[in-house]
Each structure stands twice: as structure tokens, then as C-alpha cells.
């Protein structure tokens, strides 16, 4: 390690230049990384829904999601409905408008709802034009327009700035110089930028990863800079040349920084074993970020410290004293009671956390949702040969008060309609296309019935000689236009091999009622159809994830615990210490989950998995710091004195790093408007708080109780303790 330290210091300008070039390259690459909002891309390859999505894309290539908006008019007079409906339908970008007089789904609390579907996706600027145009052109009405789009997951920039400011505040309070935080933030900031650019190797990253990845990398790796700076400060008095002091600091701190980084990386990489691949992505990005931060601490920070050492000395200040002798006394005297207390805590919180409800999607709402919630759409994809099984299912679905509409070939084109219904249906199918009332009457006369299907009406207009000149000189082109629209619309519902049933529900994406509804759909799909079926949609994805979650959580927990156990075992060469540390941090995870439940939260599943990996990988470092100090001191001091000095030697590092992690994530959790990010951050804040409390209040007593097994044989000082004369 000494040769590497010599190289990093002697060639520091070359090393710094290389790292800065890499940073610039990554800054250029960063905007090229796609931000993904389609969570179905993270489903396992064996997922039925993922298979269904692939089948649907192949069978119905033009069925991509289009933008839909809720136009809610308050106190709109009935006589103005037709005028407003016509104005919206006439827009060139509008594909369809849904409204039904008297139907409570569209008329409630003095408001009328028009569901407006555009011809383009949410990301297409033309869809946004529709919203902006009608917000302006219908300004005379009391109109509220809300999108049905799933909200993008992000953290407001101002909130990120507050988070960084809190990191600076904690560093300023806990550090020994006013200038130190600048050096730390520049180093970690470069590491964050490199990590963002290297995400290009993944192809895309989720909006969740983009939003919380940089923040978590910052708070998880800040202590590496603190360790190196503290070691440099210790080495300076021993050397006349501060470059030699830096070499000694690098060589002396390498093991602690590398082991600290390794536990965090291993804990995060356990997320790779999640079936739902958002865990793999988040684990890889964060683990890569922590590793890059470690590299930057070894390559960039030495140059910055040597350059800014004069400013560090000029801005030196006293760090806040943290009295811990009382804790040491309590830990030593209570060493026989503390293990019993820990067992009670561990078992109690392990049981209590099972009562915390788990959710798998955010169930986002807006100010219009209480009256007119956005549609939660579910698609049943089935083999066309099973068409006969659709009619009874459609009948049952239409009787469900939480199903707003059902759309399939039978309901859209093969259902008998009255003259008024037929006119409305054709208008919806073609936007501005409509059939004159006289022509409608002739169609029903030709059919010899009070009801006619759209399919029959289009067939009569296209092929019955009685309608050869019904539209005058333009009959042929208008009929061909109608045929093209009919075939295009029908092709989205029925194909040669597969057909689709689209169910527009008012169920939340994730709730007990939604689960019961999806259970019924899965039962129908399994029992009523002879061929293969697939359910597609957010609630179908939630159903799959919920079924696998307990196995998923257990897998991640076991892999994380075993990996961390092995790392700590290699560090201490002692089996008792890794057992104590892993159980201690796992208790912190259980405490965090339980605390979320006590506050009335339905906990986001990803928050649990992330907090498991992060806490086990990151906060166990604090336990390692204390345990290492205690073992070393125990060779020269009696048990109680070793505890006292271990507290004094560890408390500053534990509290600085711990406070950064707690304060930043707590602020993001409290104020971030995006539920998933808020819950992940709140879980980390609660978990870190729990882990720090356990490390400071429980771990010393456990070490004292297990003293004969955790301290190396022949390296134990036997001088008696004298707590009454502690200086």
C-alpha cells in the first residue's frame, strides 16, 4: 500500500488531471442516459405480464398509450353540453371524447366530466397543446383539466439544495475547520457526476434512481473523506513535509476506508437478487457510486487537502464535545441486562413489523381525484378463438360500480345500438366524422330493426347499393374514410390470433378492493378461457409483485446478512462480532419498518428493500468502528476503561456520518411530494436513527458481556475498573 500511496501523492497532478478528464467525459455522457418511467420494463423475464406486454406489442403494434385528460366543468348548463362537446371533438389532435348524461361516473357534485383522449402519447408536445388550447378557449367556463398520466418521480431542485445545505451544516458543526466541508463536497460532487455519466452502461435508469441516487451516494460516502482528513491531521505532527504525512495517511486509512466501502457495496449489491429488476438497477447504481466515491477520495481528495491545507489551518475551530463517559459506565454496569433487553427488542420488533401494511405503487392522486379519479386501466389479452367467453365477463364487469367502461370488439362494434347511440358511437370513432340523421334513419330502415351494430352500419354504407350516393358527390371518398377508420379502430380490439378487453376502472392501483377485483379477473382468465390469457396494467403488475414480495424480502435479507457477515468475519477473524453486528443492524431495520407502521403509513415495498441493503451495508460501519476501537483498547485497558475510550474515539465519526444520513433523508422524506422517494428517504432516516441508537446504547453492553469471546486471547488487560475516579 505504501508504493500506491507514494504514487498517488508524487503523481497527484497527473492523477488529478486524469480524473478531471473522466469527469468532463461523464458530464457529456450524463444527458444521454434515458430516464425510464415505464416500470413494467423491470419485470422479470418469467413474468406473465411481461410476456403479455410483448405479445400485445407484436399483435397490436399501434396500441401505444395515448394521452388522456379529465375535463371537469362545474355548473355547466345542460344546454351548453353539445356545444362544448362539439368544440372539443373538432380539435385536430383529439381522438375521442367520452361523456354520458345522467351517468354518475360523468356527473357528480355539480360537475360534468369529459374524458378527452388525444391521438398522441403524453410525451408528445401535441398532447400538451390540447390541454393548453382548451384551457384558453373554454376560459368562460369553470373548468379544471387534469392528466391521467402517472406522475413522474422526481425531487424538486430546491429540496435537493436544502439537502445539500444540511450536509454542509452538519459538516460545519462537527468538523474542526470551516473549510473542510468544501474539500469534501467537491470530492463527492465529482464522484456523483462520474457515476451519473457511467450509468450509460445500463442503457436507461428509472426516475426513482435518477432522483435519489445522487443524494444517497452523497450521504453514504461522505465518511470516507472524513476518515482520510482525520488520519492526515493525526500524521501531520510526525512529518516535516505534509506530502509525507499524506502518504502515511493514505497508507494508514486505506484499510478502514476500503472495508467501509466494501460493506456498503456488498449490502447494496444484495438488491441485484430482486426478481423485480428496479432493485438490480438501484443496487448497481448506488454500489457503483459508493465505489467511485472511494476512488475519488484516494485520487482527488489528497490533492485538494494538500492544496487547501493552509486554509484548513487558518479556519480551524473546535469541534463540539460529545460527552460519553456516562454511556460507557451504563454499558459496563448493565452488561448482564443489556443482552436480555436486546433479545426482547429484536423479537418484539421482528413481530411488530409484520403488521405494517406494504404497498407496491404510489396510488398518486390530484385535487380532482376525490370527485373524478383517473382511470386505472387493465387489459385482458386473450386468444381470438375464445371470443365467446367475453360476453358473460363483460356483463359482470359492467355491473361493477367501480368499472367506468369496458371496451372490446363486441362492446365497440358488435353491440346492437339505437339510432342515437349509433350516431354518438360513430362520432367518437372518427373524431369529426359523423352520419347525418336522415342517413341514420335510412340505415335502420335498411336493416329492418330498431337496433344496429356499428359493423352492420359500416357494411351497409360501404356495400349496399341503396347508399351509393347518400353523401352526394363525395360519397365514395367519405365511405372509404369511414371504412378506414372502422378497420383501424377494430384492429386495436381484435386480431387474427389475439383480442383485447380494455377495462377502465375507478379502483386504486393498489388496495384491498383492487386485489379482490384482480383475483376475480385472474380466476375468470383461468377458468373461462381455453387458450392463453394475460392481464396487463399497473394493478396486474402490483398483483405479481405482492405475490412474490415476502420471498423477495427474505432473499434480500438473507443474502445481505450473509455477505456482510463474511466481510466482518474477514475483518475481525472472530465469529461472535459479525453475529452481534448483523443482528444489531437487522434489529434497526425491523424498528424502522415498525415505526413507519406506527405513524400510519402503508410502506412502499422498495423502501423496505432499499433500507435493508443500505442500513446493513452502511450503518454497520459505525458498529465496526466502535468494535475495532474496543478490541484494540482492550489489550491495554480494563473493560470499563476500554469502553470509555472506545466511545471517545468513535463518537465523532459515528455522529458526523450518522447525522448527515439521518438529517438529509429525513428532510427529503418529510417534504418530497413524490411518495415513493419520500418513503425510501423516511425509511432510511428512521432506520439509521434506530441503528445509531442501538450501536451507542446496546452494542457496547453486548461487547462487554461477550468480552471473553470477542477479545483476542492473551491480549486482555486485567486492571480493575474504577468508575468513581474517571477523569
Triad 471, 472, 473: Cα angle to 5°: 120
CB atoms closer than 10 angstroms to residue 128 = 17
3-state SS, 526-591, equals HHCCCCCEEEECHHHHHHHHHHHHHHHHHHHHHHHHHHHHHHHHHHHCCCHHHHHHHHHHHHHHHH
pLDDT at residue 431 in the model = 47
Flag whether pLDDT at 531 surpasses 80.
Answer: yes
Tell me what the mean pLDDT of segment 681-700 comes to.
91
Is residue 625 helix, strand or coil?
A: helix
Contact (Cβ atoms closer than 8 angstroms) between residue 15 and residue 299: yes
Which contiguous run of DSSP H or E holds residue 144? strand 142-147
CB atoms closer than 10 angstroms to residue 14 = 10
pLDDT in tens, 440-455: 888 888 888 888 888 8
pLDDT at residue 718 in the model = 53
Flag whether pLDDT at 16 surpasses 90.
Answer: yes
Tell me what the mean pLDDT of segment 111-138 comes to.
84
Residues 6 or more apart in contact with residue 80 via CB below 8 angstroms: 141
Residue 83 — left, alpha, or beta (φ > 0 → left; ψ -120 to 50 → alpha)?
Answer: alpha
Distance CA 393, CA 416 (A): 18
pLDDT in tens, 493-528: 888 899 999 998 989 888 889 999 999 999 999 999
Residues 6 or more apart in contact with residue 24 via CB below 8 angstroms: none
Residues 6 or more apart in contact with residue 562 via CB below 8 angstroms: none
| pLDDT tier for residue 710 given thresholds of 50, 70 and 90 | confident
Domains along the chain? 1-10+156-315 (1.20.1640.10), 69-147 (3.30.70), 376-543 (no CATH)
Q: Which of 7-11, 276-280, 651-655 is the most confident on average?
A: 7-11
pLDDT in tens, 159-212: 878 888 888 888 888 888 899 999 999 999 999 999 999 999 998 998 888 888
pLDDT at residue 724 in the model = 45
pLDDT at residue 716 in the model = 53
Which contiguous run of DSSP H or E holds residue 171? helix 157-174
Supply the pTM of this predicted model: 0.77
Contact (Cβ atoms closer than 8 angstroms) between residue 419 and residue 441: yes
For residue 534, what are the β-bridge partners?
381
Give strand ranges (E) for 432-567. 498-505, 533-536
At 108, give phi and psi (nearest 5°).
Answer: -160, 140
Contact (Cβ atoms closer than 8 angstroms) between residue 293 and residue 217: yes
For residue 499, what are the β-bridge partners?
382, 494
Residues 6 or more apart in contact with residue 573 via CB below 8 angstroms: none
Is residue 404 helix, strand or coil?
A: strand
Distance CA 665, CA 687 (A): 11
Contact (Cβ atoms closer than 8 angstroms) between residue 723 and residue 332: yes
Beta-sheet pairing, 34-36 with 204-206: parallel
Is residue 69 helix, strand or coil?
A: strand
CA distances from 327 to 335, 339, 612 (A): 12, 16, 28
pLDDT in tens, 596-608: 888 877 788 877 8
Which contiguous run of DSSP H or E holds residue 107? strand 107-108
Tell me what the mean pLDDT of segment 562-572 comes to.
86
Distance CA 75, CA 110 (A): 6
562, three cell numbers: 450473509
Contact (Cβ atoms closer than 8 angstroms) between residue 142 and residue 646: no
Q: Which of 152-156, 237-241, 628-632 has the lowest mean pLDDT?
A: 152-156
Instruction: Report the chain's mean pLDDT, rounded to a whole number.
Output: 85
Triad 379, 382, 385: Cα angle to 5°: 150
Contact (Cβ atoms closer than 8 angstroms) between residue 235 and residue 245: yes
At 247, give phi and psi (nearest 5°).
Answer: -60, -45
Distance CA 720, CA 462 (A): 105
8-state DSSP, 151:
P
pLDDT at residue 726 in the model = 46
Which contiguous run of DSSP H or E holds residue 488? helix 475-491
pLDDT in tens, 412-430: 778 888 887 777 776 665 5
350, three cell numbers: 421482528
pLDDT at residue 331 in the model = 92
8-state DSSP, 62:
T
pLDDT in tens, 458-485: 788 778 777 776 665 556 676 677 777 7
Flag whether pLDDT at 434 surpasses 70.
Answer: no
Triad 508, 609, 361: Cα angle to 5°: 10
CB atoms closer than 10 angstroms to residue 563 = 21
Report how far Cα 412 is from the mean position of its chain's Cα atoms.
37
Is residue 601 helix, strand or coil?
A: coil
Report how far Cα 310 is from the mean position of its chain's Cα atoms.
43
8-state DSSP, 121:
-
| pLDDT tier for residue 721 given thresholds of 50, 70 and 90 | low
pLDDT at residue 427 in the model = 65
Residue among 640, 587, 723, 539 at smallest CA distance from 335: 640
Contact (Cβ atoms closer than 8 angstroms) between residue 520 and residue 380: no
Tell me what the mean pLDDT of segment 137-162 comes to.
78
Amino acid at each position: 500500500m505504501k508504493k500506491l500511496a507514494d504514487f498517488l501523492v508524487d503523481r497527484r497532478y497527473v492523477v488529478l488531471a486524469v480524473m478531471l478528464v473522466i469527469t468532463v467525459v461523464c458530464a457529456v455522457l450524463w444527458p444521454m442516459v434515458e430516464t425510464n418511467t415505464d416500470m413494467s420494463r423491470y419485470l422479470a423475464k418469467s413474468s406473465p405480464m411481461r410476456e403479455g406486454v410483448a405479445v400485445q406489442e407484436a399483435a397490436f403494434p399501434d396500441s401505444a398509450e395515448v394521452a388522456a385528460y379529465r375535463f371537469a366543468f362545474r355548473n355547466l348548463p345542460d344546454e351548453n353540453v353539445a356545444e362544448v362537446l362539439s368544440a372539443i371533438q373538432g380539435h385536430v389532435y383529439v381522438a375521442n371524447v367520452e361523456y354520458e348524461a345522467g351517468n354518475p361516473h360523468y356527473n357528480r357534485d355539480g360537475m360534468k366530466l369529459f374524458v378527452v383522449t388525444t391521438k398522441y402519447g403524453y410525451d408528445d408536445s401535441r398532447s400538451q397543446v390540447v390541454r393548453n388550447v382548451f384551457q384558453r378557449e373554454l376560459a368562460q367556463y369553470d373548468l379544471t383539466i387534469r392528466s391521467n398520466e402517472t406522475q413522474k418521480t422526481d425531487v424538486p431542485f430546491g429540496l435537493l439544495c436544502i439537502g445539500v445545505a444540511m450536509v454542509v451544516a452538519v459538516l460545519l458543526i462537527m468538523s474542526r475547520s470551516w473549510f473542510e466541508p468544501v474539500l469534501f463536497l467537491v470530492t463527492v460532487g465529482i464522484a456523483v457526476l462520474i457515476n451519473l455519466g457511467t450509468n450509460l452502461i445500463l442503457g436507461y435508469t428509472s426516475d426513482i434512481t435518477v432522483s435519489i441516487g445522487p443524494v444517497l451516494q452523497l450521504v453514504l460516502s461522505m465518511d470516507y473523506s472524513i476518515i482520510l482528513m482525520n488520519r492526515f491531521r493525526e500524521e501531520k505532527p510526525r512529518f516535516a513535509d505534509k506530502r509525507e504525512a499524506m502518504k502515511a495517511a493514505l497508507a494508514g486509512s486505506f484499510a478502514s476506508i476500503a472495508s467501509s466501502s466494501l460493506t456498503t457495496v456488498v449490502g447494496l449489491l444484495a438488491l441485484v437478487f430482486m426478481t423485480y429488476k428496479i432493485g438490480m438497477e438501484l443496487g448497481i447504481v448506488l454500489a457503483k457510486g459508493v465505489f467511485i466515491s472511494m476512488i475519488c477520495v484516494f485520487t482527488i481528495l489528497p490533492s485538494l487537502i494538500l492544496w487547501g491545507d493552509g486554509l484548513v489551518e487558518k479556519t480551524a475551530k473546535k469541534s463540539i464535545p460529545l460527552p460519553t463517559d456516562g454511556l460507557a459506565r451504563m454499558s459496563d454496569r448493565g452488561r448482564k441486562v443489556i443482552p436480555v433487553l436486546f433479545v426482547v427488542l429484536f423479537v418484539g420488533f421482528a413481530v411488530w413489523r409484520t403488521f405494517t401494511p406494504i404497498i407496491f405503487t404510489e396510488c398518486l392522486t390530484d385535487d380532482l381525484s376525490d370527485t373524478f379519479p383517473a382511470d386505472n386501466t387493465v387489459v385482458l389479452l386473450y386468444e381470438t378463438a375464445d371470443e365467446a367467453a367475453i360476453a358473460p365477463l363483460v356483463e359482470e364487469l359492467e355491473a361493477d360500480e367501480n368499472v367506468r367502461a369496458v371496451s372490446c370488439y363486441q362492446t365497440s362494434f358488435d353491440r346492437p345500438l339505437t339510432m342515437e347511440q349509433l350516431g354518438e358511437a360513430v362520432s367518437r370513432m372518427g373524431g369529426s366524422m359523423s352520419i347525418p340523421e336522415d342517413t341514420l334513419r335510412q340505415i335502420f330502415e335498411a336493416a329492418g330493426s330498431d337496433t344496429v351494430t356499428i359493423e352492420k352500419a359500416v357494411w351497409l354504407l360501404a356495400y349496399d347499393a341503396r347508399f351509393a350516393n347518400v353523401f352526394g358527390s363525395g360519397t365514395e371518398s367519405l365511405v372509404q374514410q369511414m371504412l378506414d377508420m372502422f378497420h383501424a379502430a377494430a384492429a386495436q380490439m381484435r386480431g387474427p390470433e389475439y383480442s383485447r378487453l380494455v377495462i377502465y376502472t375507478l379502483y386504486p392501483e393498489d388496495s384491498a378492493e383492487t386485489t379482490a377485483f384482480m383475483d376475480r379477473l385472474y380466476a375468470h382468465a383461468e377458468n373461462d378461457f381455453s387458450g392463453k390469457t394475460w392481464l396487463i396494467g399497473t394493478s396486474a403488475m402490483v398483483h405479481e409483485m405482492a405475490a412474490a414480495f415476502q420471498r423477495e424480502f427474505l432473499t434480500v435479507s438473507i443474502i445481505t446478512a450473509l455477505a456482510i457477515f463474511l466481510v466482518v468475519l474477514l475483518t475481525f477473524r472472530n465469529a461472535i462480532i459479525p453475529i452481534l453486528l448483523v443482528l444489531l443492524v437487522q434489529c434497526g431495520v425491523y424498528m424502522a419498518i415498525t415505526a413507519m407502521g406506527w405513524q400510519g403509513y402503508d410502506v412502499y415495498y422498495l423502501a423496505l428493500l432499499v433500507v435493508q441493503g443500505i442500513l446493513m451495508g452502511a450503518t454497520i460501519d459505525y458498529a465496526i468502528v466502535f468494535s475495532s476501537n474496543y478490541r484494540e483498547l482492550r489489550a491495554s485497558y480494563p473493560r470499563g476503561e476500554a469502553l470509555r475510550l472506545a466511545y471517545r474515539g468513535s463518537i465523532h465519526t459515528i455522529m458526523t456520518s450518522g447525522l448527515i444520513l439521518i438529517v438529509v433523508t429525513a428532510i427529503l422524506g418529510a417534504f418530497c411530494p413524490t411518495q415513493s422517494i419520500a418513503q425510501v428517504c423516511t425509511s432510511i432516516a428512521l432506520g439509521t436513527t434506530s441503528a445509531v441508537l442501538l450501536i451507542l446504547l446496546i452494542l457496547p453492553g453486548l461487547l462487554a458481556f461477550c468480552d471473553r469471546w470477542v477479545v483476542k486471547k492473551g491480549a486482555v488487560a486485567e486492571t480493575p475498573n474504577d468508575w468513581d475516579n474517571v477523569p
